[in-house]
Chains A and B, each alone.
Chain A
Amino acid sequence: MAAAVDQSNYHNLSFLDVDRTAQRVMAPAGLKYWLWVGFCAFLVAVGGSFWTRQIYEGLGVTGYGQPTLWAIYITDFVFWVGIAHSGTLISAVLFLFRTRWRTAVYRCAETMTVFAVLTAGLFPIVHLGRPWFFYWLCPYPNERYLQPDFRSPLTWDFFAISTYLTTSTLFLSMGLIPDIANQRDISIGWRKKFYSVLACGWQGTDRQWRNFSMAYLLLAGFATPLVLSVHSVVSWDFATMQTPGMHSTIFAPYFVAGAIFSGCAMVLTLIIPMRKMLHIEDLVTIWHLDSLAKVILLTSLVITYSYSTEAFLVYYAQDPIEMTTFYQRFFGHQGYLFGGMVLCNCLIPLLLFSPSIRTNTIWLFVISIFVNIGMWLERFVLIAGSLSVATIPSQWKFYVPKVTEVMITIASFGWFLMNFSLFTKFLPIVSMTELKEGVGWLRKSARNTYPYGKAS
């Protein structure tokens, strides 16, 4: 192991160090930054133009057809919703468990959540045949007394996603208040005005701190069940379908585990380059990355178990149609996708058993990318794969994407990264408030020995 790569003296940080580091991140950006943001915006523009064409000409411009009426767009949707989950897990659940390592990464994760949900929310609309009527999913009063059908999992989805977006946005923006107030106090010009609005008149009084803590706790408590519920609801889109390969009760827990798995991997993917580029290695240390890696390892084992259970249940039930679907999934025309998914989700994460890999940023980054690919493939195999070999063999057909949906998928990454990058420049991407708490706790705790680098 490249031991002690991390020369951080995290526990020796002063409050001022935290402030300075965080503020340095938000200093006016250079050319490189704007080039990066511009590149992301370009991707969005390209994807947007493809989407425009798709709306204008019809979904025919994609590779969609019978019987894979759901494919890449729904895969993207589930993928981004899944990404969102770990953010809430880290920010809310781990908060309730008083897990100390979360402080440095939680803001990043929570930001990721909000933007991932924003991205995910676009895909059901992109996917629609008539996207201009997407609001019909929403129960609004109208003269024809038309309401959405509450038996449809898509209606549940609509509520799950909108609730989730609301809650995580609130949670994120409320947690920002003390940090923004900090920024407000040191800013001038338009930034001052901007931060003043967002700071909601924060003065740091004891009463405000007490209310803040209580509200934060309540919101964390409120967000926690969403970690389980939202992805369960998403999984029911598929589990309630009679399509072989999807009609399974295991889907809800399996999707939640998968979501946390992919989400933590996405946090790593984002935070490893970010801490390098923004020079916040002091705040987000190897210790944090190691902790995330452990969560990834655990959830990887959980989903490996889920895959085996799913296959075993099919084998045990001996339903011929399900058996065929699974045979096709494993060894069929697109069986290589399943192979790739097992490799990325079940085998490669096993490397994380090694502490030296867990503490090597390069390894972690590479593994996190594999996990992201693997989880995307998992959803694709599950959705397009199952649909392509459904109940009527004469209607089998395998889906091959065309440029439109590929570009829109790429654009979704551009959209996500653009938003995320803008956030890092204008709002504190690490929570100064909570880091300070953490610093204090570390300094005080005699029991806690910092396992990385030189302890002093």
Chain B
Amino acid sequence: MSDGLSRRSFLKLAATASAAAAIPGCEPAARKLIPYVVPDENVIPGVPTFYATTCTECSAGCGVVARVMEGRVIKLEGNPVDPISQGAICARGQAALQGLYNPDRLGDPKTRQSDGTLTPIHWDDATKLMNGKLAAAAQAGKGRVAFIGAPQGPTLNSVAKAWGVAYNSVRVGFWEALSDEPAERVVYSTFGRHDLPIYKLDQAETIISFGADFVETWRSPVEYARQFAQFRAPKTRGGTLSIGRAAYVGPRLNSTAAKCDEWVASNPGTEGAVAMAVLNVVVNQGWVAANTGVNLDDIKKLVANYDPEKVSAQTGVPAEQIKRIAGWFGQATGGAVALAGTAEVQAHLAAYILNLVTGNLGKTMIFLDEEVPLEATWSQSIKGIIDAMRDGEVDVLIIAGGNPAYSMPPAYAFKEASKRVGYVIWMGDAPDESADLANLLIPTHHPLETWRDTAPRAGIHGLGQPVMQPVYRSRALHDILIASAHVGAGTAGQAITYENAADAINTAWQDLQGKIGGGSTPKQFWDDARRHGGVFQDGKPATVKFALEDDDIEAMSGPPPAPSELTLWAFPHIFLYDGRGANKSWLQEIPDPVTQIVWDTWAEIHPDTAAKLGLKKDYEQTRLFAGIDVIRISTPGGPIELTATISPLVKPGVIAVPFGQGHTSYGRYANGIGVNPFYFLPEGTRSVAVTARKLDKQYKLVTPLGSSDMMGRTIIEAMTVSDLANGVEPDFGEEKVDRPYEMYAPIEYAGHKWGMTIDVNSCTGCSACIAACYAENNVQVVGKANVDLGRIMSWIRVERYIQPADKVGDGPLIQIAPMLCQQCDHAPCEPVCPVFASHHTNEGLNAQIYNRCIGTRFCENNCPYKVRRFNWYAPEFVEPLNYQLNPDVTVRGAGVMEKCTFCIQRITTAEINARTEDRKLVDGEIIPACAQACPSRAITFGDINDPNSAMIKRRNDNKGRVYTMLPEFNALPAITYLRDLYQEKGKA
């Protein structure tokens, strides 16, 4: 500083500079950190709190654990003590958070003006208005108040019913669009019970599913995916190593069918006929167990019309195939189970009888002592309410979830009926199509903000507790109902003794303790339940008696109808289900595992059918599934325009369309996409005869998928069970590279060296890992247009390949495996980065330093696995979706490469904890989000340096199946895959 700047002038300058910095106004908006004025003793910044609660995204009733940081729930994880989820969670469960932080939720009560616009009103006015209307209706007569809502758990449902009674009405119904009512109806008419049996797929040797997509949406997908993985794991049965045999009957090859040995492509709606034909073979071949208590003559009468040869034409299934799967089923010595998931009752009946006559009742299909009926009201009663509405017998209708305006069959004419109702009140968290019918809109809590309970089956009592303060100015639905009964219903309302929903739940749980015992005091019982997310017991098996009425036989034994030339068949979307997931951007952006299509409704059509319709057979060589030709489908309910996706994975003559889209007012991510098949389907079925023609119009379906052909590359490998048993290494036509020496010395890892073992045989493609990664790692959603440009950001993806036509039978028809960063030892991404942003950690991870990255993108170019993701734009997390962001993970800016880190934040946390507690890390202490979520337990994470880790053990126990992806690049991945297994060559 000798020349120019003296010490004194430097100080002067420095003082001026700091003074300038202190002047407000020239600064960007101040971001203040405000500490808790009175700190909550449970909230330690940076340390998550876990609350056990229940998932309410479907009726499976999985237990979940909410990870809450600084008062905000940031992730849902499976509850390890819950017998259903056992620590896993599906993609839809993960995305419940996006429902909680849905930016389109209703903030204030609103009334509809005469011109149709909505104006916010004060809560007090809203409740006063509502109570006034209800009281007037109740005084006008019996049953002039109606309630149609989504099922909310046994206790809250009974609160709603009590509320109805207080208002002089029993017109209270719980609507579930794709409910298990047909299954329950058959159970009721044959077993005389009001519940559903539970299944033990892992106890079976053969599974035949008649339209039940049990690893996707059917009943309890997390539980059944786990059981199915155990069923498919190689086991020694009768002295030989084998895997379970499974067949799926249905018009479309979904991911359940992809994991089965055989896809029995049946015409839509004829799964029941196939089931009856299988039953026919089983009974006539005498593959029946003794003492099942079934009158076989009745059964023979029932299936008389279903000789496999005779129904072959109607079902479209060759007789040999029916006989073959019947043979598997009837001759299975180690247990067999038939499942049914159709909207028609016939398949359910046949499946129950199949399990029954083969002596599997009580083994693979079990009725428990306590009957837990379905929460959804049977459609007959729902229709009764709607009829009453149409007849003007209802003055006030409350719609509380379930979105009946969207998901009811047009035959119900719900919208028209609601117009005859004097006053319609909609209650819910986010407005939907049903809210459009309402005069008053009342915002209610999201299930994660309320108390509730679940009873998915006997012995399991799930307890849901609020996991955070409400995001919006909403109130709990049942709090509103109870208060309304107390205030508006006069003395009748006083019959409801609870003060609010929490009180109702608490009371119910006190009763429960009285019933099942456990816990020394009610408080302890309650606290334990809150801690564990419920009380879980194994239900006791019940003895049931099967009786088939003569008129049932008559109703069911008629020959199946002739197939129509072209049938529209709708199926639940694996993520959007019946449409409830449509406003969750994760669920929209995660590709459907089979078609890989995102953000849209598609119409899957077989190439033969496509040729008849004049569609081009092969659009683009490498984009097998992304169709462009729009077809017009004429249904009895009106025309639909959809883009055809030409796929060999669907029965010829079928147009398979997923439910879920076609929303008009369900929020920013859902509106204006695709069509809603519910609007076009007759009541009680998911298929309808249609005609279709090609339009002179094109529309692009978007998929991140390139080619569906693996081209013989070592990406997903499969081998036969006999090869595994005989220790034969399958030949993939790859030259086995012999590496006598390496140019560089192997990298030594003194401490840990993280790795993964992934069992391709277990992976069902359910994409729970992808959703978990989105939630855990703040991965941005890019939207349809950007997916089309190849900018999907998920760090883990489901690789999906289809055997080309000339190789069918040479392995499974569809191959599915999770693909994520392989954390290579010789990582090709590392040396090419000019600024060391991509570098190797001393625990074997290929770390990416976001701050150092300048965005040359050289790393991803050089990555053989193509698992790095570049931020083309700065991420955008719409308020309040940003509340969900994990504070342990950086949100990446534009121009930066990002990638899977093996959830390094979890690794680091565990390491710090171990160090603070002065102990060694325990195997299993660190679980990355993907492995944690996986329902089928396909992913195991651990320390390669620890020979006793579960991950290394899994490799060693499955030595014959071990492989690494693309070994010719010699990148030495830390992820080892276990090959997929299939029965025998020549049969897919």
Binding site for B on A (CB under 8 A): 57-60, 63-70, 124, 127-131, 133-134, 136-137, 146, 148-149, 151-155, 158, 237, 240-243, 320-321, 324, 332-333, 387, 389-398
> Is there an interface contact between A241 and B862, defined as CB atoms closer than 8 Å?
yes
> Is there an interface contact between B864 and A70, defined as CB atoms closer than 8 Å?
no
Of the candidates A59, A149, A153, A393, the one whose C-beta lies within 8 Å of that of B855 is: A59
The answer to whether A394 and B705 touch (CB under 8 A), given A57-B873, A70-B857, A128-B854, is: yes
> Is there an interface contact between A66 and B860, defined as CB atoms closer than 8 Å?
yes
Q: How far is it, in angstroms, between the C-alpha of A60 and the C-alpha of B790 when the chains are bound?
A: 11
Q: How far is the CB of B506 from chain A (nearest CB, A)?
A: 51
> Is there an interface contact between A59 and B860, defined as CB atoms closer than 8 Å?
no
Q: How far is the CB of B970 from chain A (nearest CB, A)?
A: 9
> Is there an interface contact between A130 and B836, defined as CB atoms closer than 8 Å?
no
Which of A65, A134, A151, A154 lies at the interface centre, i.e. has the most chain B CB atoms within 10 A of its CB? A65
Which residues of the other chain, B, contact A134 by a CB distance below 8 angstroms? 854
> Is there an interface contact between A129 and B855, defined as CB atoms closer than 8 Å?
yes
Contacting A at CB under 8 A, from B802-843, are: 819, 828, 831-836
Which residues of the other chain, B, contact A242 by a CB distance below 8 angstroms? 828, 862, 864, 969
Q: How far is the CB of A386 from chain B (nearest CB, A)?
A: 9
The answer to whether A391 and B894 touch (CB under 8 A), given A69-B870, A152-B833, A153-B832, is: no
Of the candidates B713, B733, B800, B872, the one whose C-beta lies within 8 Å of that of A65 is: B872
Q: How far is it, in angstroms, between the C-alpha of A387 and the C-alpha of B710 when the chains are bound?
A: 17
The answer to whether A151 and B711 touch (CB under 8 A), given A58-B874, A59-B895, A65-B790, is: no
Binding site for A on B (CB under 8 A): 620-622, 704-713, 715, 733, 786, 789-792, 799-801, 819, 828, 831-836, 852-858, 860-862, 864-866, 869-874, 894-897, 966, 968-969
Q: How far is it, in angstroms, between the C-alpha of A307 and the C-alpha of B299 when the chains are bound?
A: 73
> Is there an interface contact between B622 and A320, defined as CB atoms closer than 8 Å?
no
Q: List 19 other contacts, CB 8 Å, given A70-B857, A130-B855.
A: A58-B894, A65-B786, A65-B789, A65-B790, A67-B790, A67-B861, A134-B854, A137-B835, A148-B836, A153-B832, A153-B858, A241-B858, A324-B711, A391-B864, A392-B715, A392-B864, A393-B801, A395-B706, A397-B706
> Is there an interface contact between A58 and B713, defined as CB atoms closer than 8 Å?
no
Which residues of the other chain, B, contact A63 by a CB distance below 8 angstroms? 789
Q: Is the interface of A mostly helix, strand, loop or mixed?
A: loop
Q: How far is it, in angstroms, between the C-alpha of A320 and the C-alpha of B968 when the chains are bound?
A: 11
> Is there an interface contact between B835 and A391, defined as CB atoms closer than 8 Å?
no
Q: How far is it, in angstroms, between the C-alpha of A311 and the C-alpha of B226 when the chains are bound?
A: 49
Which residues of the other chain, A, contact B836 by a CB distance below 8 angstroms? 146, 148-149
Which residues of the other chain, B, contact A69 by a CB distance below 8 angstroms? 857, 860-861, 870
Q: How far is it, in angstroms, between the C-alpha of A240 and the C-alpha of B861 when the chains are bound?
A: 11
The answer to whether A154 and B856 touch (CB under 8 A), given A57-B873, A391-B713, is: yes
> Is there an interface contact between A391 and B865, defined as CB atoms closer than 8 Å?
yes
> Is there an interface contact between B799 and A60, defined as CB atoms closer than 8 Å?
no
Q: How far is it, in angstroms, between the C-alpha of A58 and the C-alpha of B715 when the chains are bound?
A: 33
> Is there an interface contact between B896 and A129, defined as CB atoms closer than 8 Å?
yes
Which of B712, B834, B853 lies at the interface centre, i.e. has the most chain A CB atoms within 10 A of its CB? B834
Which residues of the other chain, B, contact A130 by a CB distance below 8 angstroms? 853-855, 894-896
8 closest A-B pairs by CB: A129-B855, A129-B895, A396-B706, A65-B790, A60-B872, A58-B894, A393-B707, A69-B857
Which residues of the other chain, B, contact A324 by a CB distance below 8 angstroms? 711
> Is there an interface contact between B857 and A129, defined as CB atoms closer than 8 Å?
yes
Q: How far is it, in angstroms, between the C-alpha of A52 and the C-alpha of B792 when the chains are bound?
A: 25
> Is there an interface contact between A391 and B856, defined as CB atoms closer than 8 Å?
no
What are some 27 contacts across the A-B interface (CB < 8 A)? A57-B894, A64-B789, A64-B872, A66-B866, A66-B869, A67-B866, A69-B860, A128-B854, A128-B855, A128-B895, A137-B854, A152-B833, A154-B832, A154-B856, A158-B834, A241-B828, A242-B969, A243-B862, A333-B621, A391-B969, A392-B713, A392-B799, A392-B864, A392-B865, A393-B706, A394-B706, A394-B707
The answer to whether A129 and B969 touch (CB under 8 A), given A60-B872, A66-B860, A148-B834, is: no
Which of chain A's residues has its CB closest to B620's CB?
A333
Which residues of the other chain, B, contact A66 by a CB distance below 8 angstroms? 704, 790-792, 860, 866, 869-870
Q: How far is the CB of A95 from chain B (nearest CB, A)?
A: 34
Q: How far is the CB of A51 from chain B (nearest CB, A)?
A: 14
The answer to whether A136 and B835 touch (CB under 8 A), given A59-B855, A154-B858, A392-B865, is: yes
Q: How far is it, in angstroms, between the C-alpha of A53 and the C-alpha of B314 when the chains are bound?
A: 61
Which residues of the other chain, B, contact A396 by a CB distance below 8 angstroms? 622, 706-707
Q: How far is it, in angstroms, between the C-alpha of A420 and the C-alpha of B708 when the chains are bound?
A: 50
Which of chain B's residues has its CB closest to A69's CB?
B857
Which residues of the other chain, B, contact A65 by a CB distance below 8 angstroms? 786, 789-791, 872
> Is there an interface contact between B832 and A240, defined as CB atoms closer than 8 Å?
yes
> Is there an interface contact between B865 and A154, defined as CB atoms closer than 8 Å?
no
Q: How far is it, in angstroms, between the C-alpha of A133 and the C-alpha of B834 when the chains are bound?
A: 12
Q: How far is it, in angstroms, between the C-alpha of A98 and the C-alpha of B794 when the chains are bound?
A: 60
> Is there an interface contact between B895 and A149, defined as CB atoms closer than 8 Å?
no
The answer to whether A129 and B894 touch (CB under 8 A), given A66-B790, A158-B834, A391-B865, is: yes
Which residues of the other chain, B, contact A394 by a CB distance below 8 angstroms? 705-708, 799-801
The answer to whether A390 and B713 touch (CB under 8 A), given A129-B894, A130-B896, is: no
Which residues of the other chain, B, contact A389 by a CB distance below 8 angstroms? 622
> Is there an interface contact between A137 and B709, defined as CB atoms closer than 8 Å?
no
Q: How far is the CB of A127 from chain B (nearest CB, A)?
A: 7
Which of A57, A66, A242 lies at the interface centre, i.e. has the most chain B CB atoms within 10 A of its CB? A66
Which residues of the other chain, A, contact B790 by a CB distance below 8 angstroms? 65-68, 395, 397
Q: How far is it, in angstroms, between the C-alpha of A394 and the C-alpha of B894 when the chains are bound?
A: 25
Of the candidates A58, A148, A153, the one whose C-beta lies within 8 Å of that of B872 is: A58
Which of chain A's residues has its CB closest to B897's CB?
A129
The answer to whether A133 and B854 touch (CB under 8 A), given A146-B836, A394-B800, is: yes
> Is there an interface contact between A320 and B835, defined as CB atoms closer than 8 Å?
no
Which residues of the other chain, A, contact B966 by a CB distance below 8 angstroms? 391
> Is there an interface contact between B873 and A390, defined as CB atoms closer than 8 Å?
no
> Is there an interface contact between B871 and A149, defined as CB atoms closer than 8 Å?
no
Q: How far is it, in angstroms, between the C-alpha of A59 and the C-alpha of B857 when the chains are bound?
A: 11
Which residues of the other chain, A, contact B895 by a CB distance below 8 angstroms? 58-59, 128-131
> Is there an interface contact between B969 and A152, defined as CB atoms closer than 8 Å?
no
Which residues of the other chain, B, contact A333 by a CB distance below 8 angstroms? 620-622
> Is there an interface contact between B831 and A136, defined as CB atoms closer than 8 Å?
no
> Is there an interface contact between A149 and B833, defined as CB atoms closer than 8 Å?
yes
Which residues of the other chain, B, contact A393 by a CB distance below 8 angstroms? 622, 706-711, 713, 715, 801
Q: How far is it, in angstroms, between the C-alpha of A58 and the C-alpha of B874 when the chains are bound?
A: 7
Q: How far is the CB of A335 from chain B (nearest CB, A)?
A: 11
Q: How far is it, in angstroms, between the C-alpha of A324 and the C-alpha of B707 when the chains are bound?
A: 12
Which residues of the other chain, B, contact A391 by a CB distance below 8 angstroms? 713, 864-866, 966, 969
Which of chain B's residues has its CB closest to A157's CB?
B834
Which residues of the other chain, A, contact B896 by a CB distance below 8 angstroms? 129-130
Q: How far is it, in angstroms, between the C-alpha of A237 and the C-alpha of B862 when the chains are bound?
A: 10
> Is there an interface contact between B857 and A241, defined as CB atoms closer than 8 Å?
no
Which of chain A's residues has its CB closest to B895's CB?
A129
> Is there an interface contact between A392 and B866, defined as CB atoms closer than 8 Å?
yes
Which residues of the other chain, A, contact B873 by a CB distance below 8 angstroms? 57-58, 60
Q: How far is the CB of A157 from chain B (nearest CB, A)?
A: 8
Q: How far is the CB of B977 from chain A (nearest CB, A)?
A: 14
Q: How far is it, in angstroms, between the C-alpha of A78 and the C-alpha of B861 when the chains are bound?
A: 17
> Is there an interface contact between B791 and A148, defined as CB atoms closer than 8 Å?
no
Which of chain B's residues has its CB closest to A63's CB?
B789
Q: How far is the CB of B182 from chain A (nearest CB, A)?
A: 38
Q: How far is the CB of A34 from chain B (nearest CB, A)?
A: 38
Q: How far is it, in angstroms, between the C-alpha of A153 and the C-alpha of B856 when the chains are bound?
A: 11
Which of chain B's residues has its CB closest to A390's CB?
B866
Which residues of the other chain, B, contact A240 by a CB distance below 8 angstroms? 832
Which residues of the other chain, B, contact A392 by a CB distance below 8 angstroms? 706, 713, 715, 799, 819, 864-866
Which residues of the other chain, B, contact A158 by a CB distance below 8 angstroms? 834
Q: How far is it, in angstroms, between the C-alpha of A137 and the C-alpha of B897 when the chains are bound?
A: 17
Of the candidates A133, A146, A148, A387, the one whose C-beta lies within 8 Å of that of B861 is: A387
Which residues of the other chain, B, contact A133 by a CB distance below 8 angstroms? 854
Which of B789, B873, B896, B897 lies at the interface centre, i.e. has the most chain A CB atoms within 10 A of its CB? B789
Which residues of the other chain, A, contact B871 by a CB distance below 8 angstroms? 58, 129
Which residues of the other chain, B, contact A58 by a CB distance below 8 angstroms? 871-874, 894-895
